[in-house]
Amino acid sequence: CTLLNQPPAPKIPTRELTDDETISQAVIKEILKTPPVESNNPKIAFLFLTPGQLPFEPLWAKFFQGHEGRFSVYVHASKEKPVHTSHYFMGRDIHSESVVSPKIAAIKMQVSWGKISMVDAERRLLAKALLDSDNQQFVLLSESCIPLQNFDYVYNYLMLTNVSFIDSFVDLGPHGSGRYSEHMMPEVEKDDFRKGSQWFSMKRQHAIIVMADSLYYTKFRYYCKPNMEGRNCYADEHYLPTFFNMIDPVGIAKRSVTYVDWSERKWHPKSFKAEHITLKFLKNLTVSCHITLHFIYVPCLY
């Protein structure tokens, strides 16, 4: 678990940029040079991406209690509208947009695992949260995430950092670089292709850049999807890791602050039962590999 934070050597352009690349890079560079918007009341936006109910809502309510005014909550439920039990979550739901069909008046756009709609939902959450200028950090969570640290610890750690915690690494196997399509060229070359877990903590500057990007997003929309050229490519595992590796590699920590157990090497992370989540297990996580963790993904615990 050694962290290599050495800045990469500057890339030497090997070709002339396309017009779209030139425009995109100009916009991104200007955003990166722009100082963060000053806020007298900086907040963390907690973005919950969930199929429906939030089983750990009472636990999150205890986490938030007493810290009013220092956080915002946004819930994107893709299948069914959750019934909330805490006032911190009431009235905080956002919804997928509807598209007009010739046969049906409107169809709600579905969010499906492994498809670009997962990225669309993330962008929708970020867009809603960016409307509040006090939101300075944006944390993506799922219905199965719970906090490992208290609110003050999480708040101070994220507010005092100057990087975004976006998982991004090279995977040379069939489930990493093997998912790359040459249709992504010339904008995205194979050497730039990265992989990472979906959960992130992102500073405002980077959230704005995600909203501004259309060039690289479009490449992943069309050329990173299930059954693409006989391979399965999942945009939510590759778009942000690749995008930020290309546009601001020293601005991300290349790791997440959410613990996820992939040891079973399956399509989905390991599930836990109640007896697995002991005090010793949680304490070990908070100091494992000298990496600071704030949240844990515990599917099927409830």
Q: What is the pLDDT of residues 273-284, one digit of tens each?
A: 778 778 888 777
Q: Is the pLDDT of residue 95 over 70?
A: yes
Q: Is the pLDDT of residue 48 over 80?
A: yes
Give the pLDDT of residue 289.
45
Give the pLDDT of residue 9.
53
Give the pLDDT of residue 5.
56
Written as six digits, the tokens of 175 are: 């489930």
Written as six digits, the tokens of 22 are: 């030139």
Task: For residues 152-176, give the mean pLDDT.
Answer: 92
CB contact set of 91 (below 8 Å; sequence gap of 6+) = none
Rounded CA-CA distance 124/93 in Å is 12
SS3 content of the chain, % helix, strand, coil (to 5): 35, 15, 50
Using a pLDDT cut of 90, give the percent of the chain over it: 54
Give the pLDDT of residue 14.
64
Q: What's at 191, amino acid-wise?
A: D
Give the pLDDT of residue 68.
96
Map residue 124 onto helix, strand or coil: helix
Using a pLDDT cut of 70, give the percent of the chain over it: 83
Enter the pTM of the model: 0.85
Rounded CA-CA distance 143/116 in Å is 20
Q: Is the pLDDT of residue 62 over 80?
A: yes
Task: For residues 144-155, give the mean pLDDT.
Answer: 90
Rounded CA-CA distance 242/167 in Å is 10
Do residues 272 and 301 make contact, with C-beta atoms less than 8 angstroms apart? yes
CB contact set of 142 (below 8 Å; sequence gap of 6+) = 48, 49, 50, 199, 297
The secondary structure of 174-226 as a DSSP string is TTTGGG--GGGTTTS-GGG--B--S-EEEEHHHHHHHHH--HHHHHHHHHSST
Q: Which domains does the chain have, with CATH numbers?
A: 40-294 (3.90.550)
Chain segment 226-253, per-residue pLDDT in tens: 888 888 999 999 999 999 999 999 999 9
Rounded CA-CA distance 72/89 in Å is 9
Task: For residues 175-193, give the mean pLDDT.
Answer: 92
